[in-house]
Structures are given as C-alpha cells and as structure tokens.
Homo-oligomer: A and B are copies of this chain.
Amino acid sequence: MKNIILIGSGNVATHLGIALKNEGYNILQVWSMQVDNAKFLADKLDCKFTNSLDDLVKADLYIASVKDDKIEEVISNFQNVNIVHTSGSIGLKVFKSFTNCGVFYPLQTFNKSVDIAFSEIPLCIEANNPKFEKVLLKIGESLSNTVVKMNSEQRKQLHIAAVFACNFSNHMFAIADDILRKSNINFNLLHPLISKTIKQIEKNSPKNVQTGPAKRNDKKIIESHLQFLEKNQQELYKLITNSIISNND
C-alpha cells in the first residue's frame, strides 16, 4: 500500500504527507478545493495536484484530511477504494459502504509553521475490518513510535480530554498572561512554574499533584483573588475552584 493520495492540504495533510514521503511512500496527488493550497503542498511533496475530484488517479489509499464538516461530503465522491479520514471527532459511520475504510488520527495540534517530530505523535487507528486495520497499523508504525487501536467512541472521549488538557489549559495560560500584562509583569516569569506543573504529571496522576488555594480550600485567599478579577475571569475562577474543591477526597 505504497501509493497514496491526499484529500486536503491543511495542517494535518501537510505534516502527514511529509512524514509519509520521508518514509518512502509515494504521494501521487494532493487534492484541495482551493487549487493554490493543493499546489502549495504538492510542491513540498514533489507530486501532482488538482482541485477536481474527477482528476484523481488510482491509488492504494486515499487519506481524507479535510475539515470535520466536509468529510461526509468529500467521502461521498468515492467508491471502491481504500479510504481513511484523520479526524478525532468523526466516527467510522461516516463511510457508509466501503470494503476497506478507517481512521488514521494523529493526536496533535498542528501548525504549518511549527516543526514536529512525527515519530513522537501518537496515532489512533480504527478500521472496519481486521485485515485493513493491520495495514493501517503497519503504516502507522512506520511513522510513529506510539500507535494504538481505538474505536470511534474512545476517540471521541480522547478528543474531549484533549480539549481540556490542551485547549483549555492554554486558555488558562492566556488569562494568566492577560492578568500579568495589566500589572506590567512578564509572562516568562511563570515558565518554570508551568514546566514543573507539566513535569509532575509525567509520573503522577494530575489529581494527586493538585496544589493551590482551591486544593487547600483556603477561603481567605480565594476571596481576595476574586476581588481582583474581571467579571468573566471571576466566574471562571469560582467554577474551577469549586470543581477542584469537589474533587478533593
């Protein structure tokens, strides 16, 4: 299964395409609705490009890396091919009637501009039959050190967990940054503390290393913090604090 066509030219398609090419797979074509985007990625992969699904040639595997709300529509243009999508949120059901279909989900937030060691990105694999699953696992293992089988239900939970662990924690950093800016303090000062927070959860369950006023249920400090916050931040502070308190054993 060496000849691959990329349906999509966004961040996932870009990083996956480069990783596949580096491992010796032939990327035959890149498709994108926007021909310029298709060309941009195709130039990197040294392959052909098109914005017409009718122009696609035969390939061993079609990888649909388009926005979640476009997957069903894009897939409906294919039949009798081996096909996967790369979404954490969309199940296997979207495929309807393919002999070989599956999901090839890299658990990472990609930016086109940030270099990533693809080998360190966990890949979550699902397929509609054991044989195709084996094929996808093999491709996955050629790209990443961490390849796990995961059904659609688990993948959905993983995606929700990632929203909390990454998107929401990043928003906590953004609020901290906002608070510090207003007091003319450099956010960099918090880096060692943030690094430590992350280091601790490498070997401990996050719940077991929780610290802070909420963990101690230190009402005096909590009240004094609330006085300093803007309304929106105040509501967040209260709700998260209460959640930590109710999480105490």
Question: Which of A69, A159, A214 has the most chain B CB atoms inside 10 A of its CB?
Answer: A159
30 contacts between A and B (CB under 8 A): A68-B218, A107-B193, A108-B196, A109-B211, A111-B209, A114-B196, A116-B196, A146-B189, A156-B224, A157-B180, A157-B185, A160-B228, A161-B190, A164-B176, A164-B179, A166-B197, A167-B211, A168-B237, A170-B206, A170-B209, A170-B211, A171-B210, A171-B244, A174-B205, A174-B206, A175-B243, A177-B207, A178-B207, A198-B198, A236-B243
Q: Is the CB of A171 within 8 A of B229?
A: no
Say how far A237's CB is from chain B's closest CB, in angstroms. 8
Whose C-beta in chain B lies nearest to the C-beta of A201?
Answer: B173
Number of copies: 2
Chain B residues whose CB sits within 8 angstroms of the CB of A121 once the complex forms? 192
A158→B88 CA distance, assembly (Å): 36
Chain B residues whose CB sits within 8 angstroms of the CB of A184 once the complex forms? 154
Q: Is the CB of B174 within 8 A of A207?
A: yes
Question: Which of A153, A162, A163 has the most chain B CB atoms inside 10 A of its CB?
Answer: A163
Whose C-beta in chain B lies nearest to the C-beta of A220?
Answer: B69
Q: Is the CB of A232 within 8 A of B206?
A: no
Q: Is the CB of B193 within 8 A of A166?
A: yes
The reply on A10 being an interface residue by CB < 8 A is no
Q: Is the CB of A225 within 8 A of B166?
A: no
Which residues between 41 and 89 of chain A lie within 8 Å of chain B, taking CB atoms? 68-69, 89
Cβ-neighbour of A120 out of B168, B169, B192 (below 8 A) = B192
Whose C-beta in chain B lies nearest to the C-beta of A120?
Answer: B192
Q: Is the CB of B176 within 8 A of A161?
A: yes
Which residues between 127 and 183 of chain A lie within 8 Å of chain B, taking CB atoms? 146, 148, 150, 153-154, 156-180, 182-183
Given contact pairs A122-B189, A163-B214, A236-B239, a sample of 9 additional A-B residue pairs in the complex whose CB atoms are under 8 Å apart? A68-B218, A68-B221, A164-B172, A164-B176, A164-B179, A171-B206, A173-B206, A174-B205, A198-B198
Say how far A1's CB is from chain B's closest CB, in angstroms. 25
The reply on A187 being an interface residue by CB < 8 A is yes
Chain B residues whose CB sits within 8 angstroms of the CB of A122 once the complex forms? 189, 192
Which residues between 201 and 249 of chain A lie within 8 Å of chain B, taking CB atoms? 201-202, 205-207, 209-215, 218, 220-221, 224-225, 228-229, 232-233, 235-237, 239-240, 243-244, 246-247
